[in-house]
Structure 1
């Protein structure tokens, strides 16, 4: 059997199921496990040096986050991503993010602005440590604070409905070399515009931030397609 996954390394403060989940998620993000590929519990367990139980639990969690789809009577498969999927999700997200940033510039409280600044520090720390998992968490918190500061419950609800797709694309985009630092600078500019109550600039910067993430995703997808064609 060809081994593609690295055996898990035990971490004293993380449950085994979480380590397995993060390993499989990373394998999907970096293309080791490709869209449309069937996930065989026994094979994955053997490659990672664990039992089937944490693998099964990880696959369930990956399904909840949109990385895996379950096909009745066939099993689990890596969820596919098409260029149309990317364009559709980012088109909606760019509009929502721009609206949220503009509303936040008008309505954000001092406490929320402080939370946004603290979140920015966490993003910076994760970027410096080159810790993708921590960065994803910090980046998600940053945007969640922004949505809440908009004071628009419908907007928050719509974003929540897109959470799974957004999360996968966020992980894929931020895993691209150099994107972490660029995103950090984009976040800083957005926070500055909001703190200055500059509605139009906040809207513009937020839209550009999402469009840049989309372009990163599209470039990665095209590169993967080219490499697949060569292979």
Structure 2
């Protein structure tokens, strides 16, 4: 990923910067579930007025990362088991649609790139490089989304995906999940490249339901509240 240069960051609207940095803090666990998000403190941290802070918190609330309560302000969203599993179920169906459309619409060049992405990740599995594999996982799924050519679908997927991002990342802390996820990616890429829309949809749905199961297992093992 190309890092933004200081000049481009300087041109970034303050509300967008706050959204970006708070999202990163939430998804990496630096801001835990239920953590209070005080407007004044956030404004001081960013050297901003409270107006862009409020705008950012509203956007994060729309993404499902922040809860806004009257007279209590904002806090990092709490997600219980039932809500988490519901979101993964929705994610599975959205990804199935993406897989079907990608298989029908992907270009030969993009198909080659998808397969190359999967093959390159083999070294990450061998090295047990979890952070590297997390980056591969994002790149793999994003390539499928882009291949659909459907921006409405892509936005819907990314919104739900954002709300479960912490758990998607934590699945790779489970024993042998890197190996199994990589094998699933290889099958999915092959089906999409072959233009097999039905198989691609079925494989992606199954893949996300496995992720759902892995997330639930991780939650039971750690009892760390999501987000």
TM category (shorter chain) comes to: 0.5 to 0.7
Specify every segment of 5 or more residues in structure 1 that has no aligned partner in the other structure, as ranges: 1-20, 41-51, 55-59
- Higher deviation after alignment, 69-78 or 198-207: 69-78
Counterpart CA distance in 1 for 2:129 and 2:175 is 10
For residue 223 of structure 1, report the CA deviation from its aligned partner. 2.9
- In the superposition, the TM-score normalised over structure 1's length comes to 0.66
Deviations 1:111-167 (A, max 9, x none): 1112212322443343334232x3222211111111121232321121133242142
The equivalent position to 2:107 in structure 1, one of 99, 106, 109, is 109
* SS of aligned partner of 1:95: helix
Q: Using a 3 Å threshold, how does the CA distance of structure 1 residues 98 and 24 change in structure 2: closer, same or farther?
A: closer
| Residue matched to 1:215 | 213
Specify every segment of 5 or more residues in structure 2 that has no aligned partner in the other structure, as ranges: 1-22, 39-43, 47-55
Task: Give the 5 Å matches for 1:63-82.
Answer: 77-82=75-80
* SS of aligned partner of 1:81: coil
- The structure, 1 or 2, with the larger RCO (C-alpha pairs under 8 Å, 6+ apart) is 2
Deviations 1:67-106 (A, max 9, x none): 6657788677443221122122111111111111122122
CA contact (8 A) 2:115 2:190 kept: no
| Residue matched to 1:46 | none
Task: Give the 5 Å matches for 1:19-30.
Answer: 26-27=28-29
| Residue matched to 1:144 | 142
The equivalent position to 1:181 in structure 2, one of 179, 182, 189, is 179
The equivalent position to 2:83 in structure 1, one of 67, 71, 85, is 85
- Higher deviation after alignment, 113-122 or 68-77: 68-77
Task: Give the 5 Å matches for 1:180-199.
Answer: 180-199=178-197
Task: Give the 5 Å matches for 1:28-43.
Answer: 35-37=33-35
Q: Using a 3 Å threshold, how does the CA distance of structure 1 residues 68 and 138 change in structure 2: closer, same or farther?
A: farther
